[in-house]
Structure 1
Amino acid sequence: MKKFTDIDSCPVRNVIARFSGKWTILVLCILAENEYTRFNEIGKAIPDVSPKVLTETLRNLEADGLIVRKLYAEIPPRVEYSLTDIGKSLIPVLGNLIGWALENFDAIARR
């Protein structure tokens, strides 16, 4: 247990905290479905996330190097998001978590 007590150097604590937000995993899964995804498409896929929170989630994922934001110099401006290589490497792991959630949802929801 000692390896988890060092706040600054614990990989589990520091990495998991980066995508433990309510919307982060959903955003990553949506981005995994397409090569490029626009902001409004993400918002439509998650209708209960506010634009402000979605923007914050995308900025955090970009800062962590999991996604890339591409801005096109058009009128109106077009912005697309996509997974980086490290973001793509996370998708199989999330797939396992999603599979576990699907298998166990009913049992957990009954409690």
Structure 2
Amino acid sequence: MAEPESAPLEKLLGQISGQWTMYILWILDTNGTMRFGELRRKVDGISPKVLSQRLRMLEESGIVHRSYESTIPPQVSYELTGRGKELSKPLYDLCNLASRWYGNERNT
């Protein structure tokens, strides 16, 4: 039995949805390769545990690449893979849409 046409979209949305995930992708896309601590500071409010979980999930999906250097202390950095970079245009389109929808709102 063939998969429904929506199956690939469902799979992709399952990989990039979830609290913080799209924002992590946005930060990596706009900043390039980042170490864990830098990324954590940019994603204000995320716990180290959740950031690790999201990065691990994105790595398993082939969207993020993790580099490990066995220095003292060890250095771990993250960057988008070629597959992850394919999300750049949709992310920028969402950013532009958010600016149109919410750009004039003020936080009170």
Q: TM-score range by the shorter chain?
A: 0.7 to 0.9
The one-letter code sitting in structure 2 at the alignment partner of 1:27 is I
Query: Displacement, 1:3?
Result: 4.1
Structure number with the higher helix fraction is: 1
Classify 1:106/1:95 alpha carbon distance in 2 versus 1 (closer, same or farther; 3 Å): closer
1:52 and 2:49 correspond? yes
Residues 38-95 of structure 1 deviation map (CA, whole Å, 9 limit, x = unaligned): 0011110112000000000000000000010000010000001011001011111111
Q: TM-score, normalised by structure 1?
A: 0.84
Q: 1:39 aligns with which of 29, 36, 54?
A: 36
- 3-state DSSP of counterpart to 1:70: strand
For the aligned residue pairs, the C-alpha RMSD in angstroms reads: 1.9
Offset of residue 35 of structure 1: 3.3
- Give the one of 64, 75, 78 matched to 2:75: 78
Take 1:107 and 1:12, find their aligned partners in 2: how far apart are those partners? 32
Structure 2: segments with no counterpart, 5+ residues: none
Q: How does 1:1-111 map to 2 (within 5 A)?
A: 3-4=5-6, 10-105=7-102
How far, CA to CA, are the matches of 1:31 and 1:52 in structure 2?
18
Give the direction of change, closer, same or farther, for the CA distance of 1:94–1:75 in structure 2 (3 Å limit).
same
Aligned residues: 102
Whole-Å separation in 2 of the counterparts to 1:57 and 1:45: 15
Q: In structure 1, what is the Cα distance between the partners aligned to 2:82 and 2:96?
A: 22
